[in-house]
Amino acid sequence: MYVQQASKSKCKVAIKPLELENTKEPPLNLYKPKGPYTASIVSVERIVGPKAPGETCHIVIDHGGNVPYWEGQSYGVIPPGENPKKPGAPNTVRLYSIASTRYGDSFDGRTASLCVRRAVYYDPETGKEDPSKKGICSNFLCDSKPGDKIQITGPSGKIMLLPEDDPNATHIMIGTGTGVAPFRGYLRRMFMEDVSSFKFGGLAWLFLGVANTDSLLYDEEFTNYLQQYPENFRYDKALSREQKNKSGGKMYVQDKIEEYSDEIFKLLDDGAHIYFCGLKGMMPGIQDTLKRVAEQRGESWHQKLSQLKKNKQWHVEVY
Ligand code: FAD
């Protein structure tokens, strides 16, 4: 199957089937762990450079149009084999944010893409990798080959759905590592696909935190949007092992948030949506920064946060 990646032209790509726009509610849990859908792998591509710590792969799955989903949802994957904690029982489901739009990277509604980081285990005493303790599902996915079968469940999740009621809204996306996955889906829908019912004219602002330049994910795609839609897209990167923050420490996404805090707070006051996705550990540092900035502005972060939640502007999916 031909999988089209980033286009250099501003001309948007035609998508099908158009019926995927017709439903009012997102598809939810069409396939459950007891009755998963058997899909097949289209491609597995390592998408980080040689100096990235760890490996991240872009995996395209052919679901034949049978497991439709919306941008921001996740699929479950049941890796083959026995659950090591429950001998005799199958492995449990692992969730992965979908990194494509509902039309998939092939623009025909038949595929879904995942952005998976291979989980490895380093012995804390020797510092050496212990392959017997490597992550089961992420390694299964990153090692799979075109044509391999894969058991999927879902789609699941509503919290990260892209609100489309106002096509001119602002969307501030904060992602670390594979947390960029749902944002890649949003941005393709906004800037790459010709969706008649969603003509995006607002602002999408992506903050992406990774270790170094080689660890950047989908950078070419995002850089293309910057060139094509400079009025509608902003893209800020925090490279913790290459850049320094203003105090001389490592540059994390919260340092970038702080740098632009006046603009971010103003956009939130004007109704912007803010999304966070990535490892759980990213949230405390971000929350501390937002709280500190709010206090410097003479605002109560506690009140602001509850208002943002009440207005459905606050979207968090961390794992
Ligand atoms: P597991 O086999 O579940 O192991 C978990 C960890 O334990 C690994 O680091 C492993 O090395 C370690 N381990 C194994 N055995 C031992 C032992 N004996 N002692 C100590 N440690 C051990 N991940 C992504 O990469 N991309 C995504 O887009 C993504 N989206 C997600 C979305 C949601 C909503 C959620 C909840 C999670 C998401 N995840 C995502 C995480 C994903 O679901 C898995 O948790 C992850 O891939 C690890 O699963 P695994 O089967 O590879 O590791």
Confidence grade of residue 140 (pLDDT, cut at 50, 70, 90)? very high
Is the CB of residue 229 below 6 angstroms from any atom belonging to ligand 1?
no
Active site residue 57: no
Per-residue pLDDT at 1 exceeds 50: no
Distance 94 CA to ligand 1 centre (A): 7
Task: Name the CA radius of gyration of the chain, rounded.
Answer: 20
pLDDT-above-90 percentage for the chain: 97
Q: Are 250 and 241 in contact (CB under 8 A)?
A: yes
Catalytic residue among 69, 74, 75, 97: 97
Average pLDDT over residues 239-266: 97
Average pLDDT over residues 43-57: 98
Confidence grade of residue 6 (pLDDT, cut at 50, 70, 90)? low
Does residue 50 form part of some domain? yes
Q: Which atom of ligand 1 is nearest to the CA of 120?
A: 11
Average pLDDT over residues 81-101: 96
Residue 82 belongs to a domain with what CATH number? 2.40.30.10
Is the CB of residue 115 below 6 angstroms from any atom belonging to ligand 1?
yes
Q: How many domains is the chain partitioned into structurally?
A: 2
Tell me which DSSP letter residue 215 carries.
Answer: G
Is the CB of residue 122 below 6 angstroms from any atom belonging to ligand 1?
no
Per-residue pLDDT at 3 exceeds 60: no
pLDDT tens-digit map of 125-138: 999 999 999 999 99
Residues 99 and 234 in one domain: no
What b/e string do you get for 177-208 counting C-beta neighbours within 10 Å, with b at 16 or more? bbbbbbbbbbbbbbbbbebeeeebeebbbbbb
Does residue 282 form part of some domain? yes
Distance 136 CA to ligand 1 centre (A): 8
Residues 133 and 213 in one domain: no
Per-residue pLDDT at 29 exceeds 90: yes
Does residue 162 form part of some domain? no
Active site residue 97: yes
Residue 230 belongs to a domain with what CATH number? 3.40.50.80
Distance, in Å, from the CA atom of 294 to the CA atom of 231, rounded to the nearest integer, reads 27
Residues 117 and 32 in one domain: yes
| Dihedral, 115, 139, 42, 8 alpha carbons, nearest 10 | 30
Residues comprising the binding site? 97, 117, 178, 240-241, 250, 278-279, 317
Q: Which amino acid is at 187?
A: L
What b/e string do you get for 82-98 counting C-beta neighbours within 10 Å, with b at 16 or more? eeeeeeeebbebbbbbb
Does residue 2 form part of some domain? no
Angle subtended at Cα 59 by Cα 53 and Cα 63, rounded to the nearest 5 degrees: 160
Tokens representing 43? 């491609």
| Dihedral, 102, 105, 106, 111 alpha carbons, nearest 10 | -60
Confidence grade of residue 10 (pLDDT, cut at 50, 70, 90)? confident
Would you call 262 exposed, middle or buried from its count of C-beta atoms within 10 A (0-12, 13-18, 19+)? exposed
Distance 174 CA to ligand 1 centre (A): 21
Per-residue pLDDT at 184 exceeds 80: yes
Is the CB of residue 137 below 6 angstroms from any atom belonging to ligand 1?
yes
Q: Which helix (H) or strand (E) holds 32?
A: none
Range of the structural domain that residue 275 is part of: 170-318
Which pLDDT value is given to residue 7?
57
Active site residue 21: no
Q: Which atom of ligand 1 is nearest to the CA of 138?
A: 52
